[in-house]
């Protein structure tokens, strides 16, 4: 491949990252056809890779891609003459696109509408996050399927079904009315958070189950805060993910051994990310609309106290924050986290009774519950029960390093007992 080709390839990739969602959003909000917009854009990218090396990269690559994709859409709609209405829309669209190209102005950013469509109540909840990742970031279905632990065929079907629904039901591409905004925004944020990975492997806090799509999730959260700067919870969510992400390097030793939060080397925490998160939390606080993501972020930010001189974590305040979180959103994760915090603040017996209060039907497959439970039982010297709880925790652990960590704790417990 020649230098020029390589350069064109790089430019196309850069344009792809920056423009993919913008162009898909722009086309889809006008045609209601997300799948066709994606196909047309992907053809535009291949054409760019053929043409740019020979003729040079255009001054406004985004507008070039848009014009090319739009042309492809018009060709497509001519093949299907039934869609006359679509053709009229596309004609208008082509004029708009030509204007953009001529004036070198950026195309209007319609991604907020696309975010709201992806998390629309009419879209299957399991398809919302994948739809965002695909339409806004251009991720392929196979990678999304792996990250979500779903069969690739199932994932493709889900995405197709969701896009068909948008097209056939003509779900409106609008930013919701003020009245509906809070609920609709919650759905958007939940979908963004789902890309980060769920599960609280760490006894005392949110620790994603897998690397998954952390960068993508943070990117989407940041985009949401830019598109909706007055939404406090969007800033809260961004802060939460940045705080969890800031500890990534400290979670494993160089040999891949799991390190629990309380034993992490704080020098390995990413300080700029923590500062960034604190800024986001401050933005959120200024808006004065408390929500679960801000509370979760506040809880995570309390651990950052270990970076300062006294290195002491204020567990009393963490318990208070958990009380508020459980009041607002009594999920099994929040209740387990609260129990772990209570154990630190008021003793292991208090923590254990908080765990006992959780109904067994919620705990059968919830690993962090058993991880915290085994730890508290073991500290209380209730070794036989602790051993059984460790077994449950080990059996439910997906991450191999965390599994070995728990197995080792269990082994030591049994060993000490025999002595």
Partner 1 sequence: MSYVMLIYETEDALKSRSDAQAHEAYWSAWGAYHTALAEAGVITGGSSLAPGHAGTTLRIRGGERQVQDGPYADTKEQLGGYMIFDVPDLDTALDWAARCPAAEYGAVEVRPVHKME
Site residues, partner 1 (CB under 8 A): 126, 149-151, 154, 364-365, 390-398, 400, 403-404, 407, 410-411
Nearer residue to partner 1 within complex by CB, 173 or 258: 258
Least distance to partner 1, CB of residue 270, Å: 27
Nearer residue to partner 1 within complex by CB, 300 or 410: 410
Least distance to partner 1, CB of residue 278, Å: 34
Query: How many beta carbons lie within 10 A of that of residue 178, not counting itself?
Result: 7
Least distance to partner 1, CB of residue 166, Å: 23
Least distance to partner 1, CB of residue 159, Å: 15
Nearer residue to partner 1 within complex by CB, 200 or 269: 200
- Eight-class DSSP state of 250: G
Collapse the DSSP code of 97 into the 3-class scheme (helix H, G, I; strand E, B; otherwise coil) and give the result.
helix
Nearer residue to partner 1 within complex by CB, 85 or 411: 411
Query: How many beta carbons lie within 10 A of that of residue 288, not counting itself?
Result: 7
Nearer residue to partner 1 within complex by CB, 17 or 411: 411
> Which residues lie across from 200 on neighbouring strands?
207
Terminal-residue alpha carbon distance, the chain: 68
Say what the alpha-carbon torsion angle 34, 40, 45, 48 is, to the nearest 10 degrees: -150
Least distance to partner 1, CB of residue 256, Å: 11
Q: At a CB cut-off of 8 Å and minimum separation 6, what does 250 contact?
A: 259, 264, 265, 266, 268, 269
Least distance to partner 1, CB of residue 359, Å: 15
* Cα–Cα distance list, 73 to 40, 41, 69, 93 (Å): 6, 9, 6, 10
Nearest Cα residue to 318 out of 330, 310, 326: 326
Nearer residue to partner 1 within complex by CB, 92 or 400: 400
């Amino acid at each position: 491949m020649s230098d020029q080709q390589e350069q064109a390839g790089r430019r196309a990739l850069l344009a792809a990252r920056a423009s993919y969602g913008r162009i898909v959003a722009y086309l889809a909000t006008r045609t209601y056809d997300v799948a066709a917009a994606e196909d047309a854009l992907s053809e535009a990218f291949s054409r760019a890779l053929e043409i740019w090396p020979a003729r040079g990269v255009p001054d406004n690559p985004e507008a070039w891609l848009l014009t090319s994709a739009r042309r492809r859409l018009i060709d497509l709609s001519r093949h299907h003459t039934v869609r006359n209405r679509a053709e009229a829309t596309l004609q208008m669209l082509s004029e708009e696109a030509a204007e953009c190209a001529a004036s070198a102005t950026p195309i209007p950013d319609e991604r907020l509408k696309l975010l709201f469509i992806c998390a629309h109540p009419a879209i299957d909840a399991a398809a919302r996050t994948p739809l965002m990742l695909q339409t806004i970031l251009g991720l392929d279905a196979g990678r999304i399927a792996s990250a979500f632990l779903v069969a690739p065929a199932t994932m493709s079907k889900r995405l197709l079904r969701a896009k068909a629904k948008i097209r056939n039901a003509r779900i409106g591409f609008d930013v919701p009315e003020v009245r509906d905004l809070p609920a609709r925004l919650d759905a958007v944020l939940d979908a963004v958070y789902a890309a980060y990975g769920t599960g609280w492997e760490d006894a005392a806090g949110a620790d994603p189950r897998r690397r998954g799509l952390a960068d993508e999730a943070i990117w989407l959260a940041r985009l949401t805060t830019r598109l909706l700067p007055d939404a406090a919870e969007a800033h809260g969510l961004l802060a939460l993910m940045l705080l969890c992400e800031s500890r990534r390097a400290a979670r494993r030793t160089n040999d891949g051994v799991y390190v629990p939060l309380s034993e992490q080397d704080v020098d390995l925490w990413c300080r700029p990310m923590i500062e960034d998160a604190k800024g986001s939390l401050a933005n959120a606080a200024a808006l004065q609309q408390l929500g679960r993501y801000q509370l979760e972020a506040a809880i995570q930010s309390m651990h950052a106290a270990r970076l300062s001189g006294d290195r002491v974590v204020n567990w009393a305040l963490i318990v208070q924050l958990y009380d508020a979180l459980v009041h607002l959103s009594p999920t099994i994760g929040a209740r387990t986290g609260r129990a772990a915090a209570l154990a630190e603040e008021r003793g292991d017996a208090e923590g254990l009774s908080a765990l006992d209060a959780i109904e067994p039907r919620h705990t059968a497959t919830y690993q962090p519950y058993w991880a915290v439970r085994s730890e508290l039982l073991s500290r209380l010297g209730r070794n036989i029960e602790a051993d059984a709880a460790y077994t449950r925790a080990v059996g439910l652990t997906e991450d191999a390093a965390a599994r070995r960590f728990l197995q080792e704790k269990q082994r030591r417990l049994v060993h000490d007992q025999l002595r």
